[in-house]
Chains A and B, each alone.
Chain A
Amino acid sequence: DQQVKQNSPSLSVQEGRISILNCDYTNSMFDYFLWYKKYPAEGPTFLISISSIKDKNEDGRFTVFLNKSAKHLSLHIVPSQPGDSAVYFCAASAKAAGNKLTFGGGTRVLVKP
């Protein structure tokens, strides 16, 4: 019973275009959401986060959108660059549950030059 799901295991996009990664969750208690990026043979690194009191957070080329009513968040990368090719994990936490991070299964992004 996965509480955080990334239904697209992979995504291919042309350099310069927008990459949109989606993440759905089932636990309405989640109140904080994070995205991590992972290159091969390396550990995940923190990318961007959003609190449930917001619906958008932007950091340079990366924007995360949160739709609480739909229990859905998305990560937009604009413009996509070859260096963005990696696996992206969304994660969620609930203060009521000790803020333990629950990760999605990941989406592999390939940015083609």
Chain B
Amino acid sequence: DAGITQSPRHKVTETGTPVTLRCHQTENHRYMYWYRQDPGHGLRLIHYSYGVKDTDKGEVSDGYSVSRSKTEDFLLTLESATSSQTSVYFCAISELPLWQSGANVLTFGAGSRLTVL
């Protein structure tokens, strides 16, 4: 997975509890992203980061927050998990920002499966 590690890989939690997913990269890429994958919806961007402490919202950011204190780590937090946040979450990285070139390719981690009961 090109030096991308997601943890935990699987998590079951209850509604209302906080959850943090971690993405760790060893590629020293500046740009990092969190996506969720749901049946029929493909992958949808939650948040992205364009540098340490620099983050912005994606298309489905409600109920999620992120933090990036180091180049290699990008954390996704669900402050109070809901059943609608049951999904598979993918972290991705890129050398260039997507807005610089459409030819820029994302490299994805293996995913974190979250179930909210």
Which residues on A are within 8 Å of B, measured CB to CB? 2, 4, 6, 9, 31-32, 34, 41-46, 49, 51, 89, 91, 93-95, 98-101, 103-106
Bound complex: CA A95 to CA B104 (Å): 11
Residue pair B110, A43 in contact (C-beta under 8 Å): yes
Residue pair B103, A101 in contact (C-beta under 8 Å): no
Which of these, B41, B102, B108, contacts A95 with CB under 8 Å?
A: B102
Task: Using known A-B contacts A103-B44, A105-B42, A106-B42, determine if residue A46 contacts B106 with beta carbons closer than 8 Å.
Answer: yes
Interface string of B56-89 (1 = CB under 8 A from A): 0011000000000000000000000000000000
Chain A, Cβ-Cβ closest to B109: A43
B2 smallest CB distance to A (angstroms)? 9
Q: How many inter-chain residue pairs (CB < 8 Å) link A and B?
A: 70
* Chain A contact residues, majority secondary structure: loop
Which of these, A31, A41, A51, contacts B111 with CB under 8 Å?
A: A41
The 6 closest A-B pairs by CB, nearest first: A32-B102, A43-B108, A103-B42, A98-B99, A99-B98, A93-B102
A56 smallest CB distance to B (angstroms)? 16
Q: In the complex, which of the residues A4, A44, A89, A105 has the most CB atoms of chain B within 10 Å of its own CB atom?
A: A44
Residue pair A105, B103 in contact (C-beta under 8 Å): no
* Further contacts, 17 of them, CB under 8 A, given A42-B1, A91-B42, A100-B99: A2-B41, A31-B102, A43-B90, A43-B92, A43-B107, A43-B108, A43-B111, A44-B90, A46-B106, A46-B107, A89-B42, A93-B102, A94-B102, A98-B98, A99-B104, A100-B59, A101-B43
Of the four ranges (under 10, 10 to 19, 20 to 34, 35 or more), the interface on chain B belongs to 20 to 34
Bound complex: CA A103 to CA B98 (Å): 14
> CB-CB < 8 A to B99: which residues of A?
95, 98-100
> CB-CB < 8 A to A9: which residues of B?
40
Chain A, Cβ-Cβ closest to B40: A105
Bound complex: CA A89 to CA B101 (Å): 19
Task: Using known A-B contacts A43-B109, A43-B110, A51-B103, determine if residue A100 contacts B43 with beta carbons closer than 8 Å.
Answer: no
B79 smallest CB distance to A (angstroms)? 24
Chain A, Cβ-Cβ closest to B100: A99
Chain B, Cβ-Cβ closest to A9: B40
